[in-house]
Structure 1
Amino acid sequence: MGEGLLGTGLDVLALVVTGGLALPTAIETVYRWCTTPGRRNAQINLSVGAVTVTVTASASAEELAAMTAALTAALETTVPGEDPSDSGPQPQPEHG
């Protein structure tokens, strides 16, 4: 696998968050994956509606909290049934 690509076991990663309570856990899980050895330059975009945040290994606790707040606010304003991709964070690996 090339640098910045999701490795074995994470080739297909789909997170569907049905409520705000699961959102901090999803962000923390992605952050922990980014901090594993060999993935220090990994970046994962999580989107809810028009709001996208980028989780990296260098994100601080304050940045992770701000990401959670931004995605939670977007999740609360998303109208169910409008667009299936708006059902929760959709991880998108950065290639580069």
Structure 2
Amino acid sequence: MTEIDLTPSAASRVAAIAQRQGKAAILRLAVEGGGCSGFQYRFGLADAVDAEDVAVERDGVTLVVDSVSLDLVRGAAVDYVEDLGGAAFKVTNPNATAGCGCGSSFSV
């Protein structure tokens, strides 16, 4: 099992955002306390991969997760989904025991 995965759809979206902003194609996923279910995902472009990060690459895009957050998302996949409700990055997390309706927070 891989530590974490980035789908082709998510990689393509990160590459487009990074190019538009003139930044490196590095997406950072972090888990913070909060949200309606206890933890919430935070996404942002990163300037570099830190020494304690776990990094995976797909199609020239790097997904990085710090070691503390990785314990909560190990085995997850980061996807980019467009539907009638809008477009967003989505985490399919096998460790989550409950989630919220909006899909941006979870509990373990």
Q: TM-score if structure 2 supplies the norm length?
A: 0.27
Higher helix share: 1
Higher strand share: 2
> Higher relative contact order by CA 8 Å / sep ≥ 6: 1 or 2?
1
